[in-house]
Amino acid sequence: MNLIIAANWKMHKTRAETADFCRALLGDLDYFEGVEVLICPPFTALSAAADHIGGSALKLGAQNMHWEQEGAFTGEIAGPMLMELGVEYVIIGHSERRHIMGEDNRQIRLKLEAALENGLKPILCVGETEAQREEGSTTGVIKDQLIAALEGLPPEKTGSLVVAYEPVWAIGTGKAARPEDADEACSLIRDVIGEILGSGPAEKVPIQYGGSVKEANIGSFVKLASIQGALVGGASLEADSFSALIRAARKAVQS
């Protein structure tokens, strides 16, 4: 399975900054052997990114979507609008949306279904807060999030699903999870997906780790058998740190 490394830019970068990033990254690394690389700019910069990555191996993702196809939903963006721009992936249920914007498991389920219906590849984010980890409910939280998102989906429709394990306390803090903790959580995620969708489909789901991933630590995550990529925030904002991280990931899996 190829690694999938996704840049989640959150609310960063204008169209001009996006164009500069794409030029710099593709000037440095125009082909990513063994690694699927994607950038998830804000909605306003998606078309600028699409213009600059056309014809390259770099893929495009969105950070969110609404579950309806169109309608009276002020400020929202629908699947067909993303497809028109050449978007291939969409992040669903990022912890900043769950915990800052108040998205709940029901909304995340609707978004996941809409992504699959529209032919977008969902990157479903799950993970516990620091308080939940301290009180020992990490396993229960992750299970609940996966069950709410996936239970009852026809397994044959989930072939493009990606899951990202993102412990909330590790996001943007510089304090990444210990590889052994990420390994335990990602193994649990695959087991739970197996219980929900069956072990055959579960084997095919790439599971990413996210939370303070950088060049110096990505190797310790992607060399684990339980992890097939990373969702990267801060370290994806500069083309040189992002390309260094991609190289480090490739080296770790090849060695």
Contact between 115 and ligand PGA by CB under 6 A: the answer reads no
Contact between 177 and ligand PGA by CB under 6 A: the answer reads no
Q: What are phi and psi of 123, to 5 degrees?
A: -105, 100
Containing 81, the helix (H) or strand (E) segment is helix 79-84
* DSSP-assigned beta bridge partners for residue 165: 126, 209
Catalytic residue among 94, 96, 103, 128: 94
Answer yes or no: 180 catalytic: no
> How far is residue 244 from each of residues 46, 67, 182, 247, measured CA to CA in Å?
23, 36, 22, 5
Residue type, 203: E
Closest among 175, 149, 180, 153 to 164, alpha carbons compared: 149
Contact between 167 and ligand PGA by CB under 6 A: the answer reads no
By C-beta, is 96 or 183 nearer to ligand PGA? 96
| # of chain residues touching ligand PGA (CB under 6 A) | 13
Contact between 234 and ligand PGA by CB under 6 A: the answer reads yes
The binder of ligand PGA chosen from 22, 149, 171, 218 (CB under 6 A): 171
Answer yes or no: 99 catalytic: no
Closest among 73, 32, 23 to 53, alpha carbons compared: 23
The binder of ligand PGA chosen from 211, 219, 243, 246 (CB under 6 A): 211
Which residues would be at the binding site for ligand PGA (CB under 6 A)?
8, 166, 171-172, 210-213, 231-235
Catalytic (active-site) positions: 94, 166
